[in-house]
């Protein structure tokens, strides 16, 4: 009986912890969702080699209050500034034509054309996209949940 109770408690605790995770999606998914259910997009632009980006993933975005706020009020997008993803923004396709697939995952790579369009050159950068995908605000650099929440 004790094992059953412990198992049920562990499952409930695990489900509760995961319920507060941010529901990340691609930019294309968020822009599509925004058309049918208007809500701003919260986009974290990061790179694989960025230490501050990893720190935000492990600390800032794991904060339950912040995760709940973002998930409730935004479509959340993680966008790798050096990825090879194809993105459609305002009817135009953006790629990373200089992407080098032979580079290791944690090595620096070419910057995506969409990131160049947004004029982002440091990471992490958070971009808020309103309405028809218009940039309404950007936040550059590491932020704790306590710092980021009031800005949102």
Do the Cβ atoms of 74 and 66 come closer than 8 Å? no
Length of the chain: 152
pLDDT (tens digit, 0 to 9) for every residue of the chain, 152 residues total? 544 333 334 444 444 444 468 999 999 999 899 889 999 999 999 999 999 999 999 999 999 999 999 999 999 999 999 999 999 999 999 999 999 999 888 889 999 999 999 999 999 999 999 887 889 899 999 999 999 999 99
Predicted confidence (pLDDT) per residue in 27-36, tens digit: 999 989 988 9
CATH of domain 40-151: 3.40.30.10
pLDDT of 4: 37
What is this structure's pTM?
A: 0.83
Query: Domain spans of the chain?
Result: 40-151
């Amino acid at each position: 009986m004790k094992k059953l109770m412990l198992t049920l408690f562990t499952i409930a605790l695990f489900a509760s912890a995961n319920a507060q995770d941010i529901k990340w999606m691609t930019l294309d998914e968020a822009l599509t969702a925004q058309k049918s259910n208007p809500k701003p997009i919260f986009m974290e632009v990061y790179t694989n080699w960025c230490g501050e980006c990893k720190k935000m993933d492990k600390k800032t975005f794991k904060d339950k209050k912040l995760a709940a706020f973002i998930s409730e009020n935004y479509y959340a997008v993680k966008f790798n500034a050096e990825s090879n993803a194809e993105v459609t923004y305002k009817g135009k396709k953006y790629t990373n034509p200089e992407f080098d697939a032979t580079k290791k995952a944690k090595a620096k790579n070419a910057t995506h054309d969409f990131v160049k369009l947004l004029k982002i050159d440091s990471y992490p950068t958070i971009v808020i996209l309103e309405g028809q995908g218009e940039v309404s605000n950007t936040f550059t650099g590491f932020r704790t949940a306590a710092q980021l929440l009031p800005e949102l």
